[in-house]
A = this chain, B = another copy of it.
Amino acid sequence: MSDISSTSKPVIVTPGDPAGIGAEITLKAALASPIAFVAIADPAHMADAAKKFGINIPIHVWQKGTVIEPGCLTILEHNWPAEIIPGKPIKENSLAIIDAIKSAVSEIRSGNASALVTNPINKFILYQAGFKFPGHTEFLATLSSVRTQPVMMLANKFLRVIPTTIHNPVSEIPSILTYDLLYKTIVIARQDLITDFGIPNPRIAVCGLNPHAGEQGALGSEEIDMISPVISQLLSEDIHIDGPLPADTLFHQEARDNYDLVIGMYHDQVLPVVKTLDFNNTVNITLGLDFIRTSPDHGTAYNIAGKNIAKCDSLLAAISYAENLSQTRGKYTQINSRSIR
């Protein structure tokens, strides 16, 4: 075990929007995390923040290739072009926010880091600097060498869910939700459950789109026209899958014992449930990339930035997931004697 630990590459954590709670929770996580990680950050800014928040922690610059230890903040240096004011995002720092994400992926590509953890960004500020993506996830997909669709999973120790459509108005869901999208989402999710979560034959439950999964067509036709055919196809491929199932009877303990993952049809069908089960420790995981990426499941939280009340629980959970998924993928790759997809 000590061999693996001493030779393992660190998880790398991006700063996110510096006007948010990223610096604060990164410092708190560095103090609390049993897993060593590298944070992309401005050392002077972090030293100031540590002093302001009363966090007494050694700050080191990352020496790539060396073993880093928990209990200190290890930094990959990064500069912010404009002043950082907590709670006041400014577009002048936007390109640097994006650059930090690119740097992190580059360190993974170069073999210096193992997995990516991203602190929250504010896409609306980034849009003012020319960012053209619906969010972090879609941007990261362009940095992946594998050209699949990115798949967003929310996970905690009680439940894993994937909304097939994500950030779409409800009025657009029926037209966006296609056979292809659902099929690919499930195939990608299943593959990553095998390689990254170490589940050899994942059991997948699929929600209907409509209430009561459409009641045999009485409350909508998408289950009959599209969802059931996808499930039939996947069953014919020997995939362990069940559905379309009514979402409202799918999430209590007894039901959860029957599957490893729920595929929901849209955001508010599954995210409220997973966050209700463990709000502070839910992690956002992007599947379908050629690197591991997790993030805390909250936003920039400008309203509490700089107030020293932000909790680092979700970031800690994201770091822990990134480390575990990365190690599991590494073992899987080794055992199956083939390169990462």
Chain A contacts to B: CB under 8 angstroms:
124, 166-171, 173-174, 207, 209-212, 214-215, 218-222, 247-255, 265-273, 275-277, 279
Contacts and interface: CB of A to CB of B under 8 A. Distances in A.
Given A170-B174, A211-B167, A248 B267 contact: yes
B170 A209 contact: yes
B169 A219 contact: yes
A214 B252 contact: no
A166 B173 CA distance: 18
A221 B171 CA distance: 10
A175 B167 CA distance: 20
A256 to B, nearest CB: 9
Contacts of A169: 209-210, 214, 219-222
Query: Which 8 A-B residue pairs are closest in the complex by CB-CB distance?
Result: A169-B220, A252-B279, A211-B267, A248-B271, A251-B276, A171-B174, A247-B268, A268-B269
A54 to B, nearest CB: 24
A193 to B, nearest CB: 22
A113 to B, nearest CB: 30
Contacts of A214: 169
Given A252-B279, A279-B252, A210 B170 contact: yes
A276 B252 contact: yes
A272 B250 CA distance: 7
Given A275-B251, A276-B252, A211 B171 contact: no
A211 B168 contact: yes
Nearest to A213: B268
A241 to B, nearest CB: 19
